[in-house]
Structure formats: C-alpha cells, structure tokens
Amino acid sequence: MIKIKLDKDINFLMILYQISKNQNSFPDLREDLVNYHISEEDRKHIKDILRSDEKVEKIILRYEKLKEIYEKNKRFWDSYWDFHIDILKELQAKLIKKINDFDWTELKKLEIFFKIKKPQKIIAYLCMGNNSLAGTGNSFHPNICILFPRQFKNNTEKTIRDDFGVLIHEIVHLFLKLPNEDKKFKENLTKSFAPRGILLDKDKVDKNTVQEKMIPIIEKAIDKNKNYFDLREELLKINGGKEIDEPI
C-alpha cells in the first residue's frame, strides 16, 4: 500500500519548499540556495509538479523561477546527492522495516471516523539533509507524503522510530479532507492519531494536552461506529486547550 521512494529532483524542490516555510535546518547547503525567496505561487507550482506523472526535470523547466534555481544549482545538488545517497538508502531500508512491521489494518479506524476510503496506494518521498532535532513532513492530496528525517547524518533507532511516527502523522492528513476547518484544529485531530496517539505510541501522549482529551472521545466514537461529523462540536470545544508546539 505504501512505497518509500527516493527522487533527486523532488528532494531538491522540497528543500526549496521547506526552506520557504522555515521548517528544517539545512546547515550543509550553500548559502545562495538557502537565500532564495520562494513565494506562495512557487509552492503551488511545486505541489503541481509533485502530483504529475511526468518526469520532474521536464516539468521544472516550464516554471521560469524554478528553472532558474534548478539550473544554477544543478551541479552542486548532483554532487551533494551523490555524496549522501548511501545515508538516505540506509534510512529508507530502516523505515521500510518499520512499515512492514506496522499493522496497517489500523487505518480502518480512520476510514470509520472520517468517512473516507484510504488511498489505494501512498507514495512517500524520503528526503535528505535535515539537521533539526525534529523530523518534518508534508502531505499532498490525494496520495503523496514527504518525509525529512531528523538529524539526517546522525540517525539512531530512536530517531527512526520517531520519524516513522511523523510518516504515520502525514498519512493521517491524507484522510482529513476538511477544507473549512481551522488549521490548528486539523493538526490537533491528526496528532490524536499519530505520532503519539490512537494509531501509534498512545502511552506516550503528552499530559494535559488537546490530544489527551480528544483521544478517548474519538476511540469511543469509533467503537460505536460514529464519525467525526457526529462529534465535531464537542471536539471544537476541546480544541481550545493547550497544544504541543513541535514541527511535524
């Protein structure tokens, strides 16, 4: 159901995307790449490229600004990629093991609660270079997830386990087609399932948080075959509580 892929050009585009949102630390990247201004329109183009079935390098050339950045930095990026690819492949192998060990029937809970069928396949692109203490990810409907593992060159069993939680978190986002809801509310709903929640590491949920209060209500609803729309008002009231401020 889920495949973890490595793609040099997608990785390059997502570094631009992440830098523009200030979500990661990339101390090894050249300064002129980090200092590009990526607008909201540029980010939309990057999303469009991700969702296309065409070869990424071919599509980049259609967007003048992305083409300019790509061509100027191509030699540097090719060298950076070749130098670090073995680390990325090692991370890929470890995450694939986590994927194989996970009980994917648990996603049935998401289908029940959000009244939506899971994607037939999910593609997760694994990206290199993030040096921050927290792993970050992005989800793009209908079936694309991006994962930047934490402490890229200093990964451990713990960082891999935590990064897998971020991946599950992004997969949950693919089920949340709730366009009219507040962004923080949707994030709290997602965190109630993962990286520490109903689907994964529920015993590690932080105390006195929105997630801790939402989880038993959501679980009870799922047991009774109820859904998000039955509980929306109750969950919105709970959402006024404390949040855990960490990047996902």
Q: What is the pLDDT of residues 159-197, one digit of tens each?
A: 999 999 999 999 999 998 887 788 889 999 999 999 999
pLDDT interval class at 33 (50, 70, 90)? confident
Where residue 57 falls among pLDDT bands split at 50, 70, 90? Answer: confident
| Nearest residue to 150 (alpha-carbon basis) of 246, 35, 54, 229 | 246
User: Is residue 167 within 8 Å of 137, Cβ to Cβ?
Assistant: yes
- Whether the upstream peptide bond of residue 142 has omega within 30° of 0, thus cis, is yes
Q: What is the CA radius of gyration of the chain?
A: 19
Q: What pLDDT digit, counting tens, does each position of 60-91 carry? A: 989 999 999 999 999 999 999 999 999 999 99
Residue 1 has pLDDT above 60, yes or no: yes
| pLDDT, mean of residues 102-127 | 92
Alpha helices in the chain (DSSP H): 8-21, 31-34, 40-51, 56-60, 64-101, 108-114, 157-173, 183-191, 210-223, 228-238
- Nearest alpha-carbon partner for 192 in 221, 218, 162: 218
Q: Note the pTM of the prediction, 2 decimals.
A: 0.90
123 φ/ψ angles, rounded to the nearest 5 degrees: -110, 120
pLDDT at residue 219, as a whole number: 96
Looking at residue 109, its pLDDT comes to 94
Q: What is the mean pLDDT of the chain?
A: 89
